[in-house]
């Protein structure tokens, strides 16, 4: 999910109203979907655009499958490593119970 339309490529508005549940129990309206390239040039598809969602979230399983990478978590950071080349393709940090992606290589 992304709350930033400028991050989404090939955006398509949804015809039927769709909502996702937020952690506070409220529903957030999904305006459409598209593709993003979060850590590499490879595109991840079916990314939901939810403008009033407070964060950008992604599915770890979708990222690892699409980008052919592994995710390494520590108590203070997260790292994304390409399975073939073993090169780091991204990293992030842990803050207030969430991991934030802060850098892509």
With CA atoms as reference, report the closest residue to 50 among 72, 70, 26.
26
- Over the stretch 7-38, which tens digit does the pLDDT of each residue have? 899 999 999 989 998 878 888 999 999 999 88
Distance CA(15)–CA(52), nearest Å, equals 18
Find out whether 88 and 65 touch, Cβ atoms under 8 Å.
Answer: no
With CA atoms as reference, report the closest residue to 39 among 79, 4, 85, 77.
79
Number of domains within the chain? 1
Find out whether 92 and 81 touch, Cβ atoms under 8 Å.
Answer: no
What phi and psi values does residue 4 have, to the nearest 5 degrees? -120, 110
- Over the stretch 81-103, which tens digit does the pLDDT of each residue have? 999 999 999 999 999 999 998 88
Count other C-beta atoms under 10 Å from residue 41's C-beta: 6
Please say if the pLDDT value at position 50 is more than 80: yes
Please say if the pLDDT value at position 49 is more than 90: yes
Domain coverage including residue 62:
5-104
Q: Residue 52 — very low, low, confident or very high, per pLDDT cuts 50/70/90?
A: confident
Find out whether 77 and 31 touch, Cβ atoms under 8 Å.
Answer: no
Here the CATH number for the domain that contains residue 64 is 2.40.70
Q: Specify the pTM.
A: 0.78
């Amino acid at each position: 999910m992304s709350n930033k339309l400028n991050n989404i490529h090939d955006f398509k508005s949804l015809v039927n109203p769709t909502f996702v549940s937020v952690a506070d129990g409220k529903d957030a309206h999904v305006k459409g979907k598209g593709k993003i390239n979060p850590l590499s040039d490879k595109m991840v598809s079916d990314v939901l655009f939810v403008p009033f969602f407070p964060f950008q979230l992604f599915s770890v399983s979708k990222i690892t499958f699409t980008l052919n990478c592994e995710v390494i978590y520590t108590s203070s950071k997260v790292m994304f490593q390409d399975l073939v080349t073993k090169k780091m393709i991204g990293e992030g940090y842990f803050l207030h119970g969430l991991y934030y992606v802060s850098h892509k290589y």
